[in-house]
Amino acid sequence: MISKTVVFQCDEALQMKAVAVLIQKASTFRSSIYLMRSGRRANAKSLLGVMSLGIENGAEIEVTAEGEDQTEALDTLIQYLENPKS
């Protein structure tokens, strides 16, 4: 299991869409991926789960991945959270 913390950078208008894209990206991996924010944990492949974290611009998020493709999964998500526009 590997994990990394990142600060979410996103325009307010893009938040909802960014979350939807994030879930799509997470769902392409076989690993189980979790996001942690202020002590709450949600499955990164679950839309409502991620929404329930109330992730907003500047939020500190810890991403955890476990499974055969954990390294790629973690890299992809961290990269996306740092710069959701790309």
Q: Angle at CA 39, nearest 5°, toward 42 and 37?
A: 60
If one asks whether residue 40 binds another protein (CB under 8 A), the answer comes out as: yes
For another protein, the binding residue among 3, 9, 15, 32 (CB under 8 A) is 32
Shortest spacing between CB 41 and another protein, in angstroms:
6
- Select the span of 4-12, 49-57, 58-66, 75-83 touching another protein (CB under 8 A): 49-57
Rounded distance between C-alpha atoms, residue 59 and residue 1, angstroms: 23
Please classify residue 32 by burial: count the beta carbons closer than 10 Å to its beta carbon, then call 0-12 exposed, 13-18 middle and 19+ buried. Answer: middle
Does residue 48 belong to the site contacting another protein (CB under 8 A)? Answer: yes
